[in-house]
Structure 1
Amino acid sequence: MRDGIRLAVAAGVFIFGTIGWSLADHIGAAAGVALGVAVLVVPWRGQPGWSWAWLYLTRDRCFDLSDPVTVVNDRSGGGVRYQGGIAVAAIQLVGKQWQPTVFTGSATVETTNTVDVAELVPLMRQSLGLELDSLSVITAGARRGSGGDYPAIYDTLIGNTPYAGRRETWLVLRLHALDNGEALRDRPTVGTAALTAAQRVAASLRCRGIRAKVASTTDMIELEKRLDASVLRPRNRGWRSLRGDSGWHTSYGYRPGDITSEALGQAWSLRADAIIQNITVFSDGTAATTVTVRTSRPPTTPPAVILQPLPGQQAGAAAANLCGPRPEVRGLLRGGLPPALVIPIGPSGVLIGKISRGERLLLPLGDPAEQTRVHIAAEQEIAKRIVIRTAAAGQRVTVHTTDVAGWQSVRMPGIAVIEHQRPAPGTTVSVVDGTVAPAPRPNTVLSVAPPGSPAPPASDIVITQTGAAAVELTSGGWSCDIEPEFFRAENRYITCSQWEMAE
């Protein structure tokens, strides 16, 4: 509670007591003070009465954001939004290329494509006394795709282990102009100062092996579209959930003691259409965390015990996920940041199989910043499973082939099978069998060939069948032997079965 609010509450209690004194002397004063404390001080469902009244009266307030502008610093441009005395810049964390995710238990995973949020705190203090007001780590994605029946089947086959078929991570930097008045005297504009801070943070991350790039104005706008900023329209707001173009968005808060890597990771085990996680670090070293789940209908109870509902504050929590000033969320508690808070950056990827220790391995078959070439030299029982799992993870797949009948079994809402070169609209992965080449080429091209076929020299990921139920995976300078997993539920998508499938 800020000092101004404390003073207002004390004045309110005094006014209640004064009114009671004027009506019934000492007894009236005591009753007035008691009533004032009950209304203004004692929390009801986590907040005092005046706070609930304020939330109700401001339930339709506007969250309109100004358009970001392009700012140039050191011959490099980036997007900056200035609103309400705060300059906002964003950074996309691309992370490391083609890093696997290993399921080490029923509820634990391991990956090297991570970032430690605690290491970002020193980066909030820039040169010449410039200090960021807050820094938010926004992670958005989903466990699986949403089209057709198979993505839900694939999600069930993997189980409750936290993973993400699609996931992107962003940093949102906020610079308060008035609080940095002295530091801004030596800088041309507030926007230039915000862009410079973002460039330095991105450079520091790249020095640590984490690829990062400063967002442009287009990147910021497209990010907010993917986060479904339509939920902030007044007519879409509810007391406990928000209705957007893609579904119902419901935000929950974490208690300060629950801000740990393990607790935050469990958010990716929730059965939801999409997940947005927000870890905001403030200049005083404290942090506040929320998670927003998107579902087809508004939930009646929190999906996990540790998640705290935020009634009446859904719009503020959703606005805090965007590239703009962070509104105050009264029901969200701040706490000290732990010494280490490691979170994954990119997607977990596609299920390939089990490694020697019996642990499942997933690998992203793509990269958000560079084109990826994947080569699979294996029988169709393996190749087709990887293709349909890629679509189940949320990718839009187009199969280019003259053997349309042979690939007809994999056709589903997320997979198009065509004979011509042009991929289907929205394609992110093209699958080729050597008969038709895609043009234009999407970000990821997956080539399929019989076992023993040599991999093209430019291949980034190579999956080679080495036995009846064994493949060798090579990617980014590392390789391992994997036992592919075959599920009976996938058999109807495979027309050329030669092996006996096992659960």
Structure 2
Amino acid sequence: MLLAFMVTVALLGIGTHLWHGPVALAAPITLAVIFACLLLLTWRHGTLGALLGRRLTRRRADTSVAEPVISHRLRWTTEEVAIRGDEFEALAVVAVDGPSHSPSVLDQHQVQSAVLLPVEVVAHALHQFDVNLAGIDIHSVGRRRAGEAHHHYATTYSGIISDYAAVGARQTWCVLRLRSVDNAGAIATRDSVAATLAACARRLAVELNAHGCPSRLVDAAELAEIDEALTGPLGNDPQAHWSGLVHSAGVVSNYWISPPDITTATLDRLWSPDTDATLTSIQLRSAADGGVAVGALVRYATAGKLKEAPLRGLNPMSGQHDRAVRATVLDPALPELRLPHRVLGDSEVLRAPIGGTGILVGTTATRHPMLVPLGDACPGKQSSVTVAGELALLMQIAMRSAAIGYLVAVVSDQPARWRNASAAGLRVVRDLPDTLPDGGRAMMVVYDLASTPAVHPSAAITVRAVERGTASVADVHLEQDSNSTAVIRTADFRYRLHIDVQAERNLIAAVTRRVA
């Protein structure tokens, strides 16, 4: 406001000295009005002058973070948490894994699941006793399926899921930021800024665990992996355009959600578009009245520019995509971008989806599709699956797992039967090496053998074909009891499903006819 007034006075003064006659008043007034409009009028929370400058210039989005990272061990525990920053501003991350193998049902254009993050619980962590955090951001990254180059079944599988917000793989993190200037008294009674922030992060993790949402502190090694996950395909040098960020693999588009639309249903619906990758970010900040304000944005990575928002109600961050990306980078300083927000109600229930929904395993008795994640919710841990049924059921599990992004290795003594299922993301082999790439973290190994070897390499998911009636102790057991039904069992639930494996039977039959 002050700058606009000073520019107006300066233009009027310069105009009266440079020109004479009617133009001496008209020209400076016109210029003053134009400059005042550019400085004062806003469009989508940005001044017209700033937006015009961003429209006319080309910039490169900065995704780098230079601040150091230390590992802080919590007192009286063996837990270590990564703290990024210095004695003035610091950041810590809590990974929200959620429960493993939790089923989801597709019903009424929503994914009905018990795996939800209580946002109000995270919001309460902004103020912990004598500590006031600068803010908490909830970042989630995931995608529905892999690309066509990974497996040709991916497109078909996406069509089966239709417009539901089913996500094959998804990870969620709560990012806590603390400023020492706001918490001088609290830090004085503790060891350091790192100790203060680490205690806050642990308290949030404990609270989420108490609400049935398994969470843990992030160490230094995982923090580097999260940096890569949040920047995604952007690389180190994305170019900011008016409608998105252009990079070597495509375009990234950012949208903010209108504050009244920030609801549980909307946060679920944001995952409906079938994109290369999706990121959602929920900003939690202290409100003036002592409450908590919430804002949200979503980022879609696609092969080309989006001509319009993929969902109604999304507001494009025109000319501000570089700022939107910077707001999701793990920088200890509070992001410059403040999203449009509203105050959370005292008794408001706001839930955000977390964790992957896994693969479609069948339909319920009421014909609602059911999905179950076969992998463990905690990255780096292994999961075991046993399948007692025909080859078509085993093949369907392998193909759908490849479709959502797993690198599947099928160990079979009859590889010809898998010929039509083979692709870059699903390889059929007779044997495996002692160790798998990256420790098998993104791999599924399927044993289509009469007897599974006693010693085998570690993988994220190990699937074994077993005889029907076998007493399985696997994390997930699927037993076919007729041509169209099967029973799925985990430690927490048991359900009888309708299955459809006719397409896989046809693939196997086609190979058999060719061999004959």
TM-score (norm. length: structure 1):
0.88
Contact (CA 8 Å) 1:101, 1:111: kept in 2 or not?
yes
Structure 2 residue runs of 5 or longer lacking an equivalent are 17-23
Cα separation, 2, equivalents of 1:415 and 1:101? 25
Cα separation, 2, equivalents of 1:115 and 1:173? 16
Contact (CA 8 Å) 1:139, 1:167: kept in 2 or not?
yes
Q: Identity, % of aligned pairs?
A: 22
SS at structure 2 position matched to 1:228 = helix
Cα separation, 2, equivalents of 1:334 and 1:112? 27
Cα separation, 2, equivalents of 1:238 and 1:326? 24
1:449 and 2:466 aligned: yes
Letter in 2 for 1:291: V
CA shift, 1:363, in A, is 0.4
1:414-456 deviation digits (Å, cap 9, x = unpaired): 1121111327535421111344436322122111134x24033
Match of 1:373 in 2: 384
Contact (CA 8 Å) 1:366, 1:372: kept in 2 or not?
yes
CA shift, 1:316, in A, is 1.9
Counterparts in 2 of 1:83 and 1:276: CA distance versus 1, 3 Å: farther
Counterparts in 2 of 1:360 and 1:121: CA distance versus 1, 3 Å: same
Letter in 2 for 1:430: V
TM-score (norm. length: structure 2):
0.86
Q: What pairs with 1:400-479 in structure 2 (closer than 5 Å)?
A: 400-422=411-433, 425=437, 427=440, 428-434=443-449, 435-437=451-453, 439-450=456-467, 452-456=468-472, 458-479=473-494
Counterparts in 2 of 1:240 and 1:181: CA distance versus 1, 3 Å: farther
Q: CA RMSD in A?
A: 2.7
CA shift, 1:112, in A, is 0.7
Contact (CA 8 Å) 2:295, 2:341: kept in 1 or not?
yes
Match of 1:4 in 2: none
Match of 1:135 in 2: 136
CA shift, 1:54, in A, is 6.3
CA shift, 1:55, in A, is 4.8
SS at structure 2 position matched to 1:160 = coil
Letter in 1 for 2:213: I
1:154-204 deviation digits (Å, cap 9, x = unpaired): 101221111001111111111122222232222222122211211111111
Match of 1:3 in 2: none
Cα separation, 2, equivalents of 1:53 and 1:93? 40
1:471-503 deviation digits (Å, cap 9, x = unpaired): 111112321110013464x555434899xxxxx
CA shift, 1:299, in A, is 2.2
Cα separation, 1, equivalents of 2:214 and 2:479? 29
Contact (CA 8 Å) 1:384, 1:494: kept in 2 or not?
no
Match of 2:20 in 1: none
Letter in 1 for 2:392: E
Q: What pairs with 1:62-73 in structure 2 (closer than 5 Å)?
A: 62-66=62-66, 67-73=68-74
The count of residues paired between Structure 1 and Structure 2 equals 484
CA shift, 1:237, in A, is 3.4
Match of 1:342 among 351, 357, 377: 351
1:112-144 deviation digits (Å, cap 9, x = unpaired): 1111112211111123x2111111111111001
Match of 2:110 in 1: 108
Cα separation, 2, equivalents of 1:60 and 1:139? 24
Q: What pairs with 1:390-401 in structure 2 (closer than 5 Å)?
A: 390-401=401-412
Letter in 2 for 1:145: A
1:304-341 deviation digits (Å, cap 9, x = unpaired): 221111122222211222322342226x3122235122
Contact (CA 8 Å) 1:124, 1:283: kept in 2 or not?
yes
Match of 2:208 among 189, 193, 205: 205
Letter in 2 for 1:20: L
Cα separation, 2, equivalents of 1:349 and 1:81? 32
SS at structure 2 position matched to 1:269 = coil
Letter in 2 for 1:140: V
Counterparts in 2 of 1:467 and 1:85: CA distance versus 1, 3 Å: same
Cα separation, 1, equivalents of 2:373 and 2:489? 13
CA shift, 1:389, in A, is 0.9
